[in-house]
Amino acid sequence: MKIIATIGLIVIGAVVTYVQSRTGGGTTPGSSNAPSAVPAPTSPAQGVSTSANAVPDTTTAKPKPAASTPAMASAIAPTESRIASWNIEWLGKPEDRSGPAQGVAQDPKEVAEYIASSKAAIVGVCEIVTNVAGRPIRSREIESAIAELDKRTGSKWAYALNPGRSEGDQLTGVLWDTKQVTAQMPKGTPFNPDADVPWAVPVKKGRSSQGSGLWNRPPHAMKFSFGDGRTDVVMIVVHMKADYQGDFAAHRSEEARALVDALPAVKQAFGDQDIIIIGDTNCVGEREPAMQAFEAAGLRDLNSSGKQTHWRGGSMDRAMVPANQPEFAGSAMSVGSDEFLRTKRWEPREFKRRLSDHYLVVSTVKVMGDDD
């Protein structure tokens, strides 16, 4: 029995010794045989004290999400979202509308209905007129439409208007669904629509070879994120010179080259390659020199097939996206005309009278892991 008891004690001792060796415990503090402390995590953001025996600090801020890598980007299943643009004929100045629309103010409920029908998360706008003074620029007409848009979509929309050729005249801007995207200034600074003004693209100033001012409706850029680690895009809404009282294709070509020359500065300012140029280019054909300049810069015209975007014909409204970015692989553009007109039982002339001479255009973008 003594032998059995002795063997039992030996086995128990061996087990205790094994457990202590695995846990690092059981030694007397201060003993020469005491094990050295387990190294503390090198990142204090993990919420663990540098003391081996300390209680974890649960009050430490959580770490920010790691920057997206190509491997992380491919791990996020892509979905699809929409980015739109609409020239809302002289919104805010109905007396300058033409033909059957002259003197007819747009109904904000119908404006909201049409925008909502696009199912877009971001909508560029052109030809906004406002007499509300101050910065940032405000528009009673846009705000009335957004109030209706909030009701119709159950979301919360925001907007920003860009300084124009003169105070409050033919402005461009952006509306966005704040539940779907977050607006940003350069370097990722949050954009405050109640205080901030969109970033002015540093395009060349002066007059073109045809004698008119270049970019009288100056382009501005804003960045939109679809979520942490997901797609973000830099959106530039354009309204180029129209063929009013002449053929200004050469002028538009110079505007396009000036914008292309400024794109490196845009990419540097926002730290992003995913730039979409969208809006009323007033280019009457896909082979116009201005469109060739955009194409030479690595942009793909989503309206290269010449889809009609004006109530009387013409394909002036376009979206141009990077040809080499995965977010825009397979992107396509549609026009908000036929389906909406059928739903409302309107003829194009009635659409022109009630809303605009231009139809809204919609492009698609993949929402996926961000690669830049």
Tokens describing residue 198: 């969109």
The pLDDT score that the predictor gives to residue 196 is 96
The pLDDT score that the predictor gives to residue 313 is 94
What tens digit of pLDDT does each residue of 310-352 get? 999 999 999 999 999 999 999 999 999 999 999 999 999 999 9
Beta carbons within 8 Å of 4's beta carbon, 6+ residues apart: none
Show the DSSP H helices in 68-209 as ranges: 70-75, 108-117, 140-153
pLDDT confidence tier of residue 371, bands split at 50, 70 and 90: confident
How far, in Å, are 27, 37, 38, 52 from residue 24 at the CA level? 8, 8, 8, 11
How far, in Å, are 171, 229, 299 from residue 217 at the CA level? 7, 34, 21
Query: Which single residue is written with the structure tokens 């002036």?
Result: 316
The pLDDT score that the predictor gives to residue 228 is 93
What tens digit of pLDDT does each residue of 136-184 get? 999 999 999 999 999 999 999 999 999 997 777 899 999 999 999 999 9
Segment 181-204 shows an average pLDDT of 95
What tens digit of pLDDT does each residue of 46-88 get? 333 333 333 334 333 434 444 444 444 445 678 999 999 999 9
The pLDDT score that the predictor gives to residue 80 is 96
Dihedral angle over CA of 98, 99, 105, 110, nearest 10: -110
Fold of 79-367: Deoxyribonuclease I; Chain A (3.60.10)
Q: Angle, nearest 10°, between helix axes 140-153 and 108-117?
A: 50
The pLDDT score that the predictor gives to residue 72 is 42
In whole angstroms, give the CA distance from residue 123 to residue 360.
9
The whole-chain average pLDDT of the chain stands at 85
Beta carbons within 8 Å of 109's beta carbon, 6+ residues apart: 148
Question: Would you call the peptide bond into 44 cis, given omega within 30 degrees of 0 as the criterion?
Answer: no
The pLDDT score that the predictor gives to residue 76 is 62
In whole angstroms, give the CA distance from residue 25 to residue 309.
76
- Of 143, 138, 149, give the one whose Cα is nearest residue 109: 149
Question: Residue 152 in contact with residue 183, Cβ under 8 Å?
Answer: no
Beta carbons within 8 Å of 196's beta carbon, 6+ residues apart: 136, 160, 185
Segment 195-219 shows an average pLDDT of 96
Tokens describing residue 8: 């039992």
Q: Whole-prediction pTM value?
A: 0.80
The pLDDT score that the predictor gives to residue 13 is 47
3-state secondary structure of 71: helix
Question: Residue 295 in contact with residue 289, Cβ under 8 Å?
Answer: no
How do beta strands 122-128 and 171-177 pair? Answer: antiparallel
Listed by start position, the domains of the chain span 79-367
